[in-house]
Amino acid sequence: MIKPCCVSTLPLFQAELHTYNNTHKTTQDKAVQYLVSQADNVALWGDILQMAVLDFVRKICRQNPAEKARYLKIILALLTSTSTAVVYESAVTLVSLSQSPTAVRAAANCFCQLLVSQSDNNVKLIVLDKLIELKKRHKEVMQVWIGWGGGWVPIAIVLHWECCCMEQACM
């Protein structure tokens, strides 16, 4: 049973909730406008801010999937970040937002560059898992040749070679 005093405060609570939702929506819209206006400069921001941008883009795209294309330029810019964590997360985000062959190839190329540049075996295992997942989900796209160590080789050879090296390193 609802007490009479609670019933009288219900409209006030609803009004506050409505105001909060409108304020949140306005703030989010302003953040989107700023982010889109700064799309060319995002790659120059610090890595923590770049990670925040990726989280924000994922959140916005979950709420409104029709807006994915609007953020692809920003994600592609972040693929060239100096932070390996940002590059990895950008590649993962790119594949989650777009299933196009170009996006899959760009992500695969970033993963392969991370394999070459990283010496930590744990990092290599994580990246290899993503490449294998990409290969399973996008077999026809992953049959193409990729840049590897200054030359072009089939990605299947790269994955096989890296898996063999990782198995030996883990023994």
14, pLDDT greater than 50: no
Kindly indicate the confidence band of residue 2, based on its pLDDT and cuts at 50, 70 and 90.
very low
Mean pLDDT along residues 82-94? 94
The rounded radius of gyration (Å) of the Cα atoms in the chain is: 22
Q: What pLDDT digit, counting tens, does each position of 125-148 carry? A: 899 889 888 888 887 777 655 555
Domain spans of the chain, in order of start: 101-171
* Residue 22 confidence class, pLDDT cut points 50, 70, 90: low
Q: Report pLDDT for 69.
A: 87
> Which has the higher per-residue pLDDT, 83 or 157?
83
What's this model's pTM, rounded to 2 decimal places? 0.71
- What is the per-residue pLDDT for 39? 87
Query: What pLDDT score does 171 carry?
Result: 47
